[in-house]
Structure 1
Amino acid sequence: MHVAIIGGASTIGSTVAYTLAGLAPTVDVSLVDINEGAAWAHAKDVSHASYHFSNAPGETVSGDDIGTVQSATPDDLADLDPDLIVFNAAAPQPEDATDRGARDAELDRNLSIVEDVAEDLRPLDPTPLLVVTNPIDRLVYQFYSLLEWPRRCFLGYSLSETARVADALGSELGVHPNDVYCPMMGEHGEHVVPILSRARVGGDAVATDDLDRDEIREYVLDIPFDIAKERGVDETSRWVTSAGVTRVIRSVMAGSTAGGDDPRGRLGEPFCLSTPLDGEYGFEDLALSVPVDLDEGGVDEIHEWDLAAEEADELAVAADAVRTDLERIGAKGYDS
């Protein structure tokens, strides 16, 4: 499998490449960036790191099977022929972008980058595209509008929230967060929707009626900005994001391999990614995080769950927020 990371010299892009080298060492990675020198330097450094991963104690991968890590520029995209594209390019963040309102300004800053990258991608055959740049749901739909590839190709990363809500629930329930599953639907932002009705611990349903729903959501929304305040906006939540992005990539790989690992992972439950909707949950002409199964072409299936009334109402609020921004930028389906 060949993964092209657009914005590969960035903090997140380079960390994703490093994480793939350790957890999915057979994957070929291209770090695509307008900063050719930085992309080359990260690619070479990660290549050197792969030496230690492949020669570590335990199960290893031989040199004949190890993936390559290389640098490239956006002009090279048509020749790379990737199996999956990670879009992580973004305008620089202001130094004071350490509160939850910071995401609101990112749409206008990053729209022109999306338009330029869409032109670079147009010569490619339809390819799964995983958007990591904020605001994710809006940019997923904008790529869909511009490229007009099948909607199953478009994915928006939102698994960091799944890890954060597991941390909050694990603390409340007195269990290890790694055993907690609670899907997070809706918007990657203020209108995230914790699906507490489907919360599980070790695969078993748990009672969540006594939990403070608003408090849990506030923790999920606040913690990335608490991290940014301590480490700086350039660092962001690089570790959880790179691990989550790698999980998506490995799930695509597993879903495309007959008899391979379960693409859903150890907990055996779907996870939620943003993708364009066409009637699912009563919404269309926008992208929201919904439960999906993946295969080599991107979204294989969207699950339509029966949600609690409160969850369905919150999902509608998230849809309205995304729709308002898409109307403002004149995305497909909202042209005036």
Structure 2
Amino acid sequence: MHVGIIGGASTIGSTLAYSLACDDPHNSVTLFETALDAAWGHATDLRHASYHLVGGPLSEGAAAAGSVTYAPTDDIGEFDLDAVVVTARVPPSDDDTQRGSRGARTRELDANLPLIDSIADSLDAVDPVPTVVVTNPVDRIVYRLWNQLGWPRSKVMGFSLAETARVADAIARRHDVHPTRVSCPTMGEHGEHVVPVFSSATVAGEAVSFTPEQREAIVDEVLEVPFEIAEKRGIGDSSRWVSGAGLLRVLRGLSAPNPTDPLCLSVPLDGEYGFTDACLSVPVTLADGEVVRTIEWDLDESETARLREAYEAVREDVRRFED
């Protein structure tokens, strides 16, 4: 698999590049950047690392390790890519560490819209390939990129699996189990209006229930923790590990021949759950380089109401940049 990472020298971009190389040394990675010196540094270091990832000198006839290259983003059309991941962003400000600040979200959106438009211009030179967007606010940004590209909606999606992992961790600590024993997919907005599907949650394969107060406490914890990470580790060092691992999971699914189990990703909606003209995280299956199916789960009353709130919040911003 050859993955192009736009913003490859960023914290998430470089972490994903390393994750791809560790997962399968035969993967190839190209870091697309405007910061070419930083891209050269990461590409060179990762190329050196690949020596150890394949176990040192290869015997004759062994498959060679994948390539690690870098290039200006405008040159992306010259590469034969199987997938693209967009991690580029305008550097955040200290105000963006404050949870729930509409002003911070608006600043982030206004800052990243011109960037995503320029990326769309570069991607015009590429035939539609599966493209995963990480740039925040992701639901608005992936909708903008999809509209600018005019690609099939099955090819463009936004990464939002961090919330599913955080919800699983919060539930696991309350039940004294490992997070991998928890199933509670998380839909909605990548932001304040997350929608953990508590009505379908299981722990060790058994259904569990939550009071409204318990649901609220888990949501508050999940929304607060990325800001705590940013405060303690530094705003420039985003949640790279959960994002790198989650993106690797998405890319594995996109390269697989058979549909994955449902994953909640932000995708353009065309009537699903009664919504259009926006992106939200909803369950999808992946295979053969695209979203194969968008699934409509039965939600309880509170989850349905919260999903509508998420849609209205995203739609409000979409209307603003569409005008």
Given the two structures, how large is their TM-score scaled by the length of structure 1?
A: 0.90
Q: Match for 2:290 among 298, 305, 315? A: 298
| CA-CA distance at 1:50 after TM superposition | 2.1
Q: For residues 145 and 210 of structure 1, what CA distance do their matches in structure 2 show? A: 38
1:97 aligns to what SS in structure 2? helix
| CA-CA distance at 1:200 after TM superposition | 2.0
Kept in 2: contact 1:24–1:250 (CA 8 A): no
AA at the equivalent of 1:326: V
Distance change in 2, residues 1:197/1:94 (3 Å): same
Distance change in 2, residues 1:36/1:320 (3 Å): same
Q: Match for 1:130 among 126, 129, 132? A: 132
2:168 aligns to what SS in structure 1? helix
Q: Deviations over 1:3-38 (max 9, x none)?
A: 100000111101110111111332211100011111
**1:279 aligned residue:** 271
Q: Deviations over 1:160-181 (max 9, x none)?
A: 1111111110011221112112
Distance change in 2, residues 1:49/1:228 (3 Å): same
Q: For residues 285 and 140 of structure 2, what CA distance do their matches in structure 1 show? A: 21
| CA-CA distance at 1:218 after TM superposition | 0.6
Kept in 1: contact 2:20–2:27 (CA 8 A): yes
Q: Match for 2:120 among 90, 110, 118? A: 118
Matches within 5 A, 1:45-194: 45-55=45-55, 64-100=63-99, 101=101, 102-194=104-196
Q: For residues 11 and 210 of structure 1, what CA distance do their matches in structure 2 show? A: 36
Q: For residues 97 and 41 of structure 1, what CA distance do their matches in structure 2 show? A: 28
Q: For residues 96 and 308 of structure 1, what CA distance do their matches in structure 2 show? A: 35
- Unpaired stretches in structure 2, ≥5 consecutive residues: none
AA at the equivalent of 1:137: D
Q: For residues 171 and 80 of structure 1, what CA distance do their matches in structure 2 show? A: 45
Q: Deviations over 1:208-238 (max 9, x none)?
A: 3476111110111000000111111111111
1:15 aligns to what SS in structure 2? helix
Q: For residues 93 and 186 of structure 2, what CA distance do their matches in structure 1 show? A: 28
AA at the equivalent of 1:172: R
Q: Percent identity?
A: 50
AA at the equivalent of 1:275: V
Is the deviation greater in 306-315 or in 86-95?
Answer: 86-95
Kept in 2: contact 1:275–1:288 (CA 8 A): yes
Kept in 1: contact 2:186–2:264 (CA 8 A): yes
AA at the equivalent of 2:228: D
| CA-CA distance at 1:114 after TM superposition | 0.7
Is the deviation greater in 45-54 or in 303-312?
Answer: 45-54
| CA-CA distance at 1:104 after TM superposition | 3.7
Q: For residues 300 and 307 of structure 1, what CA distance do their matches in structure 2 show? A: 22
- Unpaired stretches in structure 1, ≥5 consecutive residues: 57-61, 265-269
**1:229 aligned residue:** 231
Kept in 2: contact 1:272–1:291 (CA 8 A): yes
**1:216 aligned residue:** 218
Matches within 5 A, 1:254-265: 254=256, 256=257, 263-264=260-261
| CA-CA distance at 1:205 after TM superposition | 2.5
AA at the equivalent of 2:151: W
Q: For residues 203 and 40 of structure 1, what CA distance do their matches in structure 2 show? A: 46
Q: For residues 23 and 220 of structure 2, what CA distance do their matches in structure 1 show? A: 31
Is the deviation greater in 308-317 or in 39-48?
Answer: 39-48
Kept in 2: contact 1:128–1:154 (CA 8 A): yes
Q: For residues 253 and 213 of structure 2, what CA distance do their matches in structure 1 show? A: 31
Q: For residues 213 and 28 of structure 2, what CA distance do their matches in structure 1 show? A: 44
**1:289 aligned residue:** 281
Kept in 1: contact 2:130–2:254 (CA 8 A): no
Q: For residues 47 and 184 of structure 2, what CA distance do their matches in structure 1 show? A: 36
